[in-house]
Every structure is written in structure tokens, then in C-alpha cells.
Amino acid sequence: MSTRVPVNRIFHEKRRIIVPMLIVLALNIALYALVVYPLASRVRNMEDREAAAMRELLAAEKDDAAARAVLEGRDRADVALKEFYKDVLPSSFAVARDITYLKLNQLADQHNIEIRHRQGQADTEKKGTLARLRVTMQLEGSYEDIRRFIYQLEAGSDFLVIDSVQLAQEESGGGPLALTLGISTYYRTEPHGA
């Protein structure tokens, strides 16, 4: 036999307990729906905004560090350029010519190379405060001496750039090699102080 519990009778007999419980349950649901859930949503939104702000702050700090590195690099490059202008480049055409001719004569003497002809000329096109001195030289010597001469010219601390090299030998092949060398150096055309 099955006994069926009448719900209406239980509700009617226990309504003093059930009604307050239903009211409390309804208040809990209303309190959750009207207060707790919106506050929880706001907290989640604030946490999301805080995380986004933190990401933006980290990105801004990274950009700031990169910008500072660029500025420091530019400052180091400016200092190095000023030192290069002051310590390496000659201050005028006359100084550039004297230094270049002296260096080339010394290297030729060191390597048993004979200077046949030499001509220097200032380039008419200058860029900013720099101008170029072009030197053309005709030299004679053995292959090994010429090779060592060119190596020392390129490896030296003076700012000399080899623009062209022409090597020739007499048809008989027994004599010295003839070398025509185009060399450039740069010099300042006005004082570089800033």
C-alpha cells in the first residue's frame, strides 16, 4: 500500500514554519538578484579593468624604456661623432693634405714602393661641414710590397678610404707592378663645436 502524503494538509498544518521560510527564501533570492549578483559583476568588471590597466602600464613602461634606450643611444652616437670630428678628422684642407701625403709617403717608404706621381684635389661638393680630399697616386713596386702597402693603408687608424685600384705590369712581365690608387679622406670645412 502506498501512502500518499497530502501536501495541502502539510502546508496547512505547518504554515507557521513554511511561510516564514518561503519569505526568507524569497528575500534571499531577491537580495542575491538585487545586491550580491550586481556587486559580484562590478567586482569582476573592476578586476578586468585593473588587469587591462596593468597590461597598459607594462606596455607603457616598455615603451618608455625603449624610448630612453633610443635617447641614450643617440646621445652616445652624438658624443662619438663629436669625438670623431675632433680627434680623427682633419680640421682643414691643408691639414688633410699634409696628413694624407705624410702617411702615404711613410707607408711607401716602409714597403719599398716608389711614388711616381701624386695629385690631390678638394671635392667641390661638400655635405654639411665635411668636404672630401681626393688623392690619386701612381706607385711602383713588387706584388708583395703593394699588397702589404694596401693592407696597412686599410688597417691604419687614419681615416683614408681607397676608392679605386688599378694594377698593371709591363708586357714582358719581369718588371715592377704599376699601381694607380684613388684615395679619399674627409676634413671639416668649419669648426664643429656644437
- Top CATH class of 93-188 equals alpha beta
Q: What share of the chain is helix, strand, coil (3-state, %, to 5)?
A: 60, 20, 20
CB 133 within 8 A of CB 97: yes
Q: What's the whole-model pTM score?
A: 0.56
Q: Would you place residue 2 in the very low, low, confident or very high pLDDT band (cuts 50, 70, 90)? A: low
Q: Which residue has the cell 502524503?
A: 5
Average pLDDT on 182-193 reads 75
Sequence spans of domains, the chain: 7-88, 93-188
The confidence score (pLDDT) of residue 82 equals 83
Please tell me the distance from the alpha carbon of residue 102 to that of residue 131, in angstroms, as a whole number: 20
Is 192 a residue whose pLDDT tops 60? no
pLDDT greater than 60 at residue 194: no
**For 62-119, how does the pLDDT look when each residue is reduced to its tens digit (9 = 90+)?**
999 999 999 999 999 988 888 887 777 888 888 888 888 888 899 999 999 998 888 8
Model pLDDT, residue 76: 92
